[in-house]
Structure 1
């Protein structure tokens, strides 16, 4: 393999048209032609995104004679061949950056955010070569003149370059695993057990960064303690893009990129109460930092060296995203950031999503993992009836597994013990897990056979038996009917609705537009379809509140629903159906037992 350095010069060339340019310098090489490609997906987000579609122009010139252009042939949607005859050359290309999803690249008047998978071409034969990066700005542009560059990529000196920022990684895969932020930002750092954490938020804000750092400190310490010393990092960057709306997170080995609504975060001068939006942010940070071990280092065997040009299938995502979804919330309760009842309400909301989702009875968590590329990441309005989330069900599976291990071992082992085994046997050396890793570790190290449990709830479509499991936590599991369309589950004192339409609605200029129809309930039985606009019930014009009131007070077994479908008025008979008990909640029956389970 060539050991020569690849040099990438990234220039923020035109933020107004969402464009940056890259000049890739390739040294002399043995092959006659160079093959260049861009990944089609980014690790941690299992959908083909075809990043190469954003490359606008691409050309190549001889380094010894810039007037000598090399022929470029496009081979497929993401691959180019450059005929160089082995000469050192520079590949110049322009990229369109207008995807605010933290999985690609985005640029506006405040910053440029760039993932390596959407910016840096792979050179065949140079995958193990050192990759160096210079970042340049247009000094004549007043908007970008004061921008700064931030990334978790190691810096390197380069006295001969006119660029302000220089970074490098040992090989291509490591190089593209560091998201890059160039722009205006607020930063705040804090230390936990020798690891320096930096919070970065786009723009200049009135956010209470010290409060966020104080709340994240015990969360980060929990994860560091769980996996033990030495940690695989000494620095970590929480990079948050703030927006009016939006939500997302993507893990990297030494950082995470987050997208979050700015006013869901605590502002300077706010009271000390934690809003649901802020708790969700802390949970998101917890989730992505947990991936530092569990996904970025402990990973399925097929993800150790994945082919980024096409789908890489695994049925293990319930282990990786599911277990992480368990730990992200329970860590907040363990660390004292939220109270135990608040944690139970969050779990109840997750369980409620499952209970409303008849797709859980059709697709297993293992199948959901395998089909992530299409069915999970490309959901349509019927998804709730046909698929299950490996995040949501995987989190409940993890809770059940923890309680099963505790009971079978008389509390000598639990899910934490299993996580440390995963780290010790598969994470430290990053050798990748086989499909049967959980049952094998439990049998080999605990002498506990969990195969029947996994066959039922992971490879089959049975629900986790929470009624029997959670009694070991000192709590009782219950279900109830929803109290409103906005009800997410959890403990409440509000009265439940009596009858249920069985559809998700959103306000229209007149009436309510149908955006989801649930199997087995009144709306589907009546023949109400997606995108119908419900305008009246028994002749009464409706909004969401009035529709529910009319259903609850109906004195007949059926009512007439009037709707608009494809520009036509229709009136359909709608059976009045009693509301399902599909919302979960937990009652604490033994505070001491629950606190012991949480380790508080």
Structure 2
């Protein structure tokens, strides 16, 4: 046994010595930013092999879609000193370099012209580099340390990233492995940078694109949100954190990273109450991911396979719970009233209940199928699926109230998140399974959630909102107009032509055979313009039969449609008249 231990120790030391000799260094340059290109030089040394396989990831963690980043790669070449090496492409994202036991440079350019929080964009004003679409790795060497040197374009003076600077080297950053590199985007240009300190952590906010934001307000209010979220988990694991904010005419979306995030915002919306609240909620959402998903995570989400889909049924926890907490954190930080929070929650309930897909796709399945459905919506998406963000948030809200009620207002969902983080990330350093997370829920609540999971997560039973709101002395009411006639389509205007863009399941239009892309020409033999349809339907009664003439693929078609009652709900949450002592205690614990 002793000899075996010595052998293992020797092999470990030898492996570490080999790894120390192997080096990967990137140099990033911009010779044609106006044409949206970034140049990448990958210096590979210490890999004494006949050939080395170099790979580009096909997706980015946090955005569950194979995006085929290699499609943007051009001008691949490899050299060793002055000698050009043979390079052959093996598959869609892998290049084999015949290095012949020599160190080599692997050079390529990447076209960057897709505006989103998960894809790279370069022009003459700035560069945003989403690392999974820029940096290649060597096959089976994800754990290899990496340095990145950035040579900004002429006139660009600032670099914002979560990576650590290499001491003594200008614009050079260090990542202990490719997982960290791929989790660290870069903003390069002349972004407006300001800082705030919260929970003992320095936070950098890098604003690109201008906007009517007030730095003082953001510093104060973002800090409040950070403090509230840190309080749930009992610690903030970062030394520093970077918000990269892209302000566009119309911007949205966010993508979480280990110690940074990228946010899309509308540059002129900060001065409005709704716009400012939306930005704070987005910031709260992505910051909450610092714990939930980046550290506390489903077992399937790490270590990552960057070449294939990584399937999990638990995105309703990773994203849905985070979507629940984003609004709650803004409320807890004192930035929105209880009434405002309940109104926003009622809107989220309406969103889910008005989606026909809620009766078709279970929540766990929506997570598993994220790779083929959520990021690839079509004209039938609302009829056949739901979002694990939206329904997951509703599940979190029901579980929160269930836990508070069952523990006589001594515990809530916060305790679950805290305990799961410390158990799986801090203690076990791994992700959780579906059953393990359920066990922590049940341990905290002191009750079984077996039926809850069967009905609401793996099944299609309608959510009983009033049961759970009743624990806190609230009731849910549908305030929509009754007996309103409804055709059941969404339309768009094309050169003053009225074209069907969506047909809702179970409506008169669905039953009567209206199709997406039909051009509505007439109703009851009367020609209509794009603005006439709503007025005509409003003048009818539920049960009326109308004839609809459409132009489909150049041919006229007559359809008979029976108008049904408008099924779309508009919910409102109200307090009950005489809440009990326990209801008031649950309410206080929930909305404190």
- Tell me, yes or no, if the aligned pair for 2:127 and 2:187 is still in contact at 8 Å: yes
Asked whether 1:221 is paired with 2:227, we answer yes
For 2:244, the equivalent position in structure 1 comes to 239
Higher mean Cα deviation, 554-563 or 341-350?
554-563
In the alignment, the residues of structure 2 paired with residue 34 and residue 359 of structure 1 have an alpha-carbon distance, to the nearest angstrom, of 47
For residue 540 of structure 1, report the CA deviation from its aligned partner: 4.9
Cα root mean square deviation, aligned? 2.0
For 2:458, the equivalent position in structure 1 comes to 459
For 1:8, the equivalent position in structure 2 comes to 26
For 1:151, the equivalent position in structure 2 comes to 161
- Tell me, yes or no, if the aligned pair for 1:152 and 1:236 is still in contact at 8 Å: yes
- Tell me, yes or no, if the aligned pair for 1:355 and 1:583 is still in contact at 8 Å: no
In the alignment, the residues of structure 2 paired with residue 89 and residue 302 of structure 1 have an alpha-carbon distance, to the nearest angstrom, of 35
Residue from 301, 304, 321 that aligns with 1:303: 301
For residue 288 of structure 1, report the CA deviation from its aligned partner: 0.4
Q: Helix, strand or coil: the match of 1:523?
A: helix
Task: Write the deviation string for residues 402-426 of structure 1: whole angstroms up to 9, x where unpaired.
Answer: 1111222222221111111111101
In the alignment, the residues of structure 1 paired with residue 220 and residue 498 of structure 2 have an alpha-carbon distance, to the nearest angstrom, of 44
In the alignment, the residues of structure 2 paired with residue 474 and residue 545 of structure 1 have an alpha-carbon distance, to the nearest angstrom, of 44
In the alignment, the residues of structure 2 paired with residue 599 and residue 342 of structure 1 have an alpha-carbon distance, to the nearest angstrom, of 12
For residue 13 of structure 1, report the CA deviation from its aligned partner: 2.0
Residue from 563, 569, 580 that aligns with 1:576: 563
For residue 125 of structure 1, report the CA deviation from its aligned partner: 4.7
Task: Write the deviation string for residues 192-226 of structure 1: whole angstroms up to 9, x where unpaired.
Answer: 12111222111344422222222222211110111
Gap regions ≥5 residues in structure 1: 140-144, 267-273, 482-494
For 1:184, the equivalent position in structure 2 comes to 190
In the alignment, the residues of structure 1 paired with residue 386 and residue 515 of structure 2 have an alpha-carbon distance, to the nearest angstrom, of 22
Equivalent residues in 2 for 1:90-239 (5 A)?
90-139=105-154, 145-159=155-169, 164-229=170-235, 231-239=236-244
For residue 246 of structure 1, report the CA deviation from its aligned partner: 3.3
- Tell me, yes or no, if the aligned pair for 1:480 and 1:580 is still in contact at 8 Å: no
For 1:549, the equivalent position in structure 2 comes to 535
CA 1:496–1:283 in 2, change beyond 3 Å: closer, same or farther? farther
For 2:3, the equivalent position in structure 1 comes to none
Q: Helix, strand or coil: the match of 1:371?
A: helix
Asked whether 1:26 is paired with 2:44, we answer yes
In the alignment, the residues of structure 2 paired with residue 344 and residue 505 of structure 1 have an alpha-carbon distance, to the nearest angstrom, of 31
For 1:521, the equivalent position in structure 2 comes to 507
For 1:443, the equivalent position in structure 2 comes to 442
Higher mean Cα deviation, 86-95 or 495-504?
495-504
In the alignment, the residues of structure 1 paired with residue 491 and residue 585 of structure 2 have an alpha-carbon distance, to the nearest angstrom, of 41
In the alignment, the residues of structure 2 paired with residue 39 and residue 168 of structure 1 have an alpha-carbon distance, to the nearest angstrom, of 20
- Tell me, yes or no, if the aligned pair for 1:149 and 1:183 is still in contact at 8 Å: yes
In the alignment, the residues of structure 2 paired with residue 597 and residue 447 of structure 1 have an alpha-carbon distance, to the nearest angstrom, of 17
Asked whether 1:537 is paired with 2:542, we answer no
Equivalent residues in 2 for 1:56-455 (5 A)?
56-62=74-80, 65-66=81-82, 68-139=83-154, 145-159=155-169, 164-229=170-235, 231-266=236-271, 274-429=272-427, 430-455=429-454
For residue 138 of structure 1, report the CA deviation from its aligned partner: 4.2
CA 1:129–1:581 in 2, change beyond 3 Å: closer, same or farther? closer
Question: If the length of structure 2 is used for normalisation, what is the TM-score?
Answer: 0.91
For residue 240 of structure 1, report the CA deviation from its aligned partner: 1.0
For 1:484, the equivalent position in structure 2 comes to none
Q: How many residues align?
A: 567
Q: Helix, strand or coil: the match of 1:222?
A: helix
CA 1:544–1:280 in 2, change beyond 3 Å: closer, same or farther? farther
In the alignment, the residues of structure 2 paired with residue 312 and residue 150 of structure 1 have an alpha-carbon distance, to the nearest angstrom, of 29
For residue 496 of structure 1, report the CA deviation from its aligned partner: 7.0
- Tell me, yes or no, if the aligned pair for 1:405 and 1:415 is still in contact at 8 Å: yes
CA 1:40–1:146 in 2, change beyond 3 Å: closer, same or farther? closer
For 1:486, the equivalent position in structure 2 comes to none
In the alignment, the residues of structure 2 paired with residue 544 and residue 350 of structure 1 have an alpha-carbon distance, to the nearest angstrom, of 30
Residue from 560, 580, 586 that aligns with 2:547: 560
For 1:491, the equivalent position in structure 2 comes to none
For residue 479 of structure 1, report the CA deviation from its aligned partner: 1.8
Q: Helix, strand or coil: the match of 1:16?
A: helix
Task: Write the deviation string for residues 464-505 of structure 1: whole angstroms up to 9, x where unpaired.
Answer: 210111122232101243xxxxxxxxxxxxx67821121122
In the alignment, the residues of structure 1 paired with residue 50 and residue 329 of structure 2 have an alpha-carbon distance, to the nearest angstrom, of 55
In the alignment, the residues of structure 2 paired with residue 562 and residue 458 of structure 1 have an alpha-carbon distance, to the nearest angstrom, of 42
- Tell me, yes or no, if the aligned pair for 1:365 and 1:393 is still in contact at 8 Å: yes
CA 1:595–1:216 in 2, change beyond 3 Å: closer, same or farther? farther
- Tell me, yes or no, if the aligned pair for 1:403 and 1:414 is still in contact at 8 Å: yes
Equivalent residues in 2 for 1:35-50 (5 A)?
35-50=53-68
Q: Helix, strand or coil: the match of 1:471?
A: helix
In the alignment, the residues of structure 1 paired with residue 303 and residue 289 of structure 2 have an alpha-carbon distance, to the nearest angstrom, of 17
In the alignment, the residues of structure 1 paired with residue 485 and residue 268 of structure 2 have an alpha-carbon distance, to the nearest angstrom, of 36
In the alignment, the residues of structure 2 paired with residue 332 and residue 587 of structure 1 have an alpha-carbon distance, to the nearest angstrom, of 20
For 1:489, the equivalent position in structure 2 comes to none
CA 1:461–1:544 in 2, change beyond 3 Å: closer, same or farther? farther
In the alignment, the residues of structure 1 paired with residue 445 and residue 398 of structure 2 have an alpha-carbon distance, to the nearest angstrom, of 16
Q: Helix, strand or coil: the match of 2:165?
A: coil
Higher mean Cα deviation, 563-572 or 94-103?
563-572
For residue 445 of structure 1, report the CA deviation from its aligned partner: 4.9
For 1:269, the equivalent position in structure 2 comes to none
Asked whether 1:501 is paired with 2:487, we answer yes
In the alignment, the residues of structure 2 paired with residue 597 and residue 473 of structure 1 have an alpha-carbon distance, to the nearest angstrom, of 9
- Tell me, yes or no, if the aligned pair for 1:510 and 1:535 is still in contact at 8 Å: no
- Tell me, yes or no, if the aligned pair for 1:507 and 1:543 is still in contact at 8 Å: no
In the alignment, the residues of structure 2 paired with residue 506 and residue 280 of structure 1 have an alpha-carbon distance, to the nearest angstrom, of 26
Question: If the length of structure 1 is used for normalisation, what is the TM-score?
Answer: 0.90
Higher mean Cα deviation, 145-154 or 534-543?
534-543
Q: Helix, strand or coil: the match of 2:462?
A: coil
Q: Helix, strand or coil: the match of 1:283?
A: helix
